[in-house]
Structure 1
Amino acid sequence: MLASTIQEYQLRVDTQLKQRFSTLEDTAPQLKAAMQYGALLGGKRIRPFLVYSVGQMFGVTLEKLDACAAAIECIHAYSLIHDDLPAMDDDALRRGQPTVHIAFDEATAILAGDALQTLAFEIVTEAVPGISSEQHIAMVRALAKASGYRGMCGGQAIDLASTDKQIDLKALTQLHNMKTGALISCAVELALIAANAPKDQYQTMMTFAHAVGLAFQVQDDILDIIATTEELGKPQGSDTESNKSTFPQLLGLQGAKDTAAQLIQEALSALAKLPYNSQLIADFARYIIERRI
């Protein structure tokens, strides 16, 4: 069921993205092509999956969640485009294909990332029946916080400043709670806002989200060691080559695996407190540390 639902939500959010791109005029065709290339290059669509699955668990219709799912994927795509730039991680391969600045050029890649970021906020403010103005404002705030200084961008800045330096576990955890975890947590938060979730259940689900977000990054660090370039869709060992601190480097490979497993157990314990059928989301949490991609 998990695999088929992941695929269903992948197709759904891709359809939503294609619909939004189709409304863009062809005044800057290369920019539009780069945006589409970066956003539709494939990928797991984990953040949209969380928007849809958490929202559904709380009884929200998929139609009410489409804008949030598309918006957060635009933010994620923009972050990957900029992350791959020569001034950042300087990667030439993403999801098994040339990165945007290789397929196009650096200037176009920068603009494509910028345009996807602003498109995300345009999408998340679309009028949706059953979603109030107050909810829209809360969604904008959540997305801005998760993707800006307090979240993804701040985490990336810390990451760049930490290259070629040894940082401790506390600093590494903070880095990835911001760079990776914030946007994963935001996916859950957007669904909770759409659901008008009660405060106690909101807090319980955010505990789940924080644990899953960090576990995702720990597993990414593990896969950078044990997976192949073909499995990853990007160069294997890139973190080591870039001389970045990782969880396996600080904890050892088995220690990192144990940490990821402990985080998922924390997430599952949070889910168990809710009076809903959370089986799909629990299976997804387990998948986070079982995946090879």
Structure 2
Amino acid sequence: MQRSTFKVLFYVKRQSEKHGQVPVMGRITINGTMSQFSCKLSVRSSLWDAKANKASGKSLESQRINEKLENIKTNIGKQYQRLCDRDSYVTAEKVRNAFLGMGDDCRLLLQTFDEYLAEFRKRVGKDRAYSTYEDYCLRRRRLAAFLEYEYHVKDIPFKELNRNFIEKFVVYLSTVKGLASGTISAGVKKLRLMTYTAYKNGWILVDPFAGFHVRPKYAERRYLSASELQAVMDVELPNYRTGINRDVFVFCAFTGLSHADVVKLTHADIHTDYNRNHWIIDKRQKTGTQFRVKLLPIAEIIYDRYKNLHLEG
């Protein structure tokens, strides 16, 4: 009875139309269960025949599309037959996963990324910083957005990753997201880590990143001269809040601390030695490494100015 209800239909996602092209999607239905997938094909919207579930006409373009759709339907039918012979109960999701190579022994890219993030989150506050965790989550979201944009899928098996996939991801980050080369390089590094994990664990036979490099172009970093820093300290500012921001910047300059390290300072982090000198003794926000910094005269003045307002505790 199951086999009589097995159907494979194709349709286009018109809301995702780009430059007159629409992605072709597939839908499997079996005994009341349904599962959809991307055919990884696109067709001119004017060519699609919604009633016939295929491209219309006899042009070479239509013939090419319809031939690929027929191959997809045949392959899905073979997976359905195999599962019916093996399992007592077959669902559309099972057939879809088998067709896409996503069986129980198949690993997915974002699935692996999520597992990595879960383990990383456990280490936050110990030897990892929460800001780094947030940054990795952002890179994961960009990768997920790319899969939706380019392939119209929620996840993808590692075995489908190749050099073309990586190159398309780089182009996407550059053109669609408008990211600079340094940010692109950082995002690609996390993808590289995921593929290396898959290669190391034997989930794929070849690392698609082998021989691939993204070389970021960094702008030359400037530094303030003594006179420029003095000008920042002397300038008259329009309001109190802007003055606070300026003083935090100057405090960072005279202590060598990052903004994140200064923001979390409390009175408990300020220590006085036998000579009545003040020292900041704390741990770096990012690495957890302890540091000791003596307050120079200008940093001391700023500390005295705000100690009753910003260093409660």
Q: Which has the larger radius of gyration?
A: 2
TM-score range, shorter chain: under 0.3
* TM-score (norm. length: structure 1): 0.26
TM-score in terms of structure 2 length: 0.25
Q: Which structure exhibits the higher relative contact order, with contacts defined as CA atoms closer than 8 Å and separated by 6 or more residues?
A: 1
